[in-house]
Structure 1
Amino acid sequence: MAVVGIDLGSQSTKVVILEGDSIIGGASLQTGESAETEARMAVEEALRQTGLKRDDLKAAVATGTLNVRVTAAVNQRSAASCIATGAHFRFPQARTVLYVGADSSMAVRMSADGQVEDSVKNERCAVSSGALLDIVARMLEIPVSELGSLSLKATAPQTVSSRCVVFAEGEILSFIHKDPPVPVPDALAGVNQCIADGLWGMVQKVGVPSELLLCGGVARNEGIVKAIEAHLGRPLLVPPQPEYVRALGAALFARNLQEGGAAC
């Protein structure tokens, strides 16, 4: 039986269709003014990949940054529980998961069976999310997807000391307007290190009993991955398509509800 998990993010709405233990479809659309509209469109896109129809979906669960109800037929679960459930499915050995999205991040410590034991969110306006990366990408006219690989070419990484996005942006502007300007890789290495330092502070609040898993869209940034690994002292666990972990967790909850669930 097929079920669907919906992750309502501040910038994108992601969907995972699950059948048994297999992910058979997935989609991501930019989040707009209507959460219900984007959720339905993302579900339709994922269904096209599977050849299934809407009536074939036996249960639906939504989660995410946006605290809104999609429809009465869609169950809701907390972001922390879906992050933990999706992470545990990918890597059962993980005991701490760090989710880093476009505008928010969360560190979650889990039990051996994937239950949430403790969690902490980033502070408002803090640099420990993807928000600063979006600003820097626009500032330098470089795609966000290239910021990580470029930062690894740094020869003299700069220091971004502010923990606030607004003040950090000012520091980065000062790099650009120096005479001569700071090389882009050196500036980006400083940005990634700043974000990683903030994220590591969150992780320390919940603890790392064993393996640490990094997920969310920012997990695709190689510079941030390496900077967190330097704090940790060993490699991180990074799942394939890390931005879909929260939607996957929602789909796993839907699978548990499928006998009593409703189609979306």
Structure 2
Amino acid sequence: IGKVSLSVDKEPPPVSCTCVAFAKTEAVGLLRKGWSKEMVLAAYTRAMAIRMSNLVNRVGLEKEFVITGGQSKNSGIVKRIEDALNVKTLPSPDWKKGELDPMIAGAIGAALFAKALYLKNKNN
């Protein structure tokens, strides 16, 4: 999806709806209006990148950061986040080379948090 979304000559406007329940209907409508699948994918990855960039701007942009989670594997989203924030992100671990899969970073963080909470409650 990421590579295909980056193959457009001009960025389309972002879609208004990123809710999965309504996104399919909107995507079908755009295709019926003559949008190419590349334009539709570019519009959705752009919309996701804008939403994520807005979240980053709310909490503050660190000088160096890495994108984790499923979106880290979508080059279209990563590129558009970098463009929106005017930064270059650190490379995500390459799970294909046996490095930590960036998609499970949140799960690892949750597990560490749960362990700390368990140990705190165990000692009280």
Contact conserved, 1:175 with 1:187, CA < 8 A, in 2? yes
TM-score (norm 1): 0.37
- For the 8 Å contact 1:160–1:168, the answer to whether it is kept is no
Query: Unpaired segments of 5 or more residues in structure 1?
Result: 1-146
RMSD over aligned CA atoms reads 2.9
Quote the offset at 1:252 in angstroms: 4.3
CA distance in 1, matches of 2:30, 2:79: 23
Partner of 2:27: 172
Mapped contact 2:8–2:38 kept (Cα < 8 A):
yes
Report if the CA contact (8 A) 1:196-1:224 is conserved: yes
Name the SS for the 1:150 alignment partner.
helix
Larger Rg: 1
**Aligned counterpart for 1:242 among listed residues 85, 102, 105:** 102
Give the percent of matched residue pairs that are identical in Structure 1 and Structure 2.
Answer: 32
What is the rounded CA distance, in whole Å, between the counterparts of 1:160 and 1:170 in structure 2?
Answer: 15
2:27–2:40 contact (8 Å) kept in structure 1: yes
Give the letter for the 1:230 counterpart: D
More strand by share: 1
Q: Is the 8 A contact 1:158 1:189 kept in 2?
A: yes
Instruction: Return the letter of the residue paired with 2:32.
Output: H
How far off is 1:208 after superposition? 1.1
Residue 212 of structure 1, CA deviation = 2.9
- The 2-side partners of 1:173 and 1:199 are apart by 24
Q: 1:115-264 counterparts in 2 under 5 A?
A: 147-165=1-19, 166-178=21-33, 181-240=34-93, 241-252=101-112
Q: Answer whether contact 1:215 1:238 (CA < 8 A) is retained.
A: no
One-letter amino acid of the structure 1 residue matched with residue 106 of structure 2 = R
Whole-Å Cα distance in 2 between the matches of residues 251 and 171 of structure 1?
37
- The 2-side partners of 1:242 and 1:226 are apart by 16
AA at the equivalent of 2:58: K
Residue by residue, what CA displacement relative to the aligned partner does 1:96-136 show, whole Å, maximum 9, x if unpaired? Answer: xxxxxxxxxxxxxxxxxxxxxxxxxxxxxxxxxxxxxxxxx
Contact 1:192 1:224 in 2 (8 A): yes
Measure how far apart 1:150 and its partner are.
1.0
1:214 CA displacement: 1.3
Distance in 1 of aligned mates of 2:24 and 2:10? 19
Superposed counterparts of 1:58-137, under 5 Å: none
Question: Cα distance, 1:198 vs. partner?
Answer: 1.0
Task: Considering fraction of residues, name the structure with more helix.
Answer: 2
> Aligned equivalents of 2:106 and 2:26: distance in 1?
33
CA contact 2:5–2:41 (8 Å) conserved in 1:
yes
TM-score, normalised to structure 2, is 0.72
Q: How much has 1:200 moved relative to structure 2?
A: 1.1
Following superposition, the deviation at residue 245 of structure 1 comes to 0.5
For structure 2, the residue ranges without an aligned partner over 5 or more in a row are: 94-100
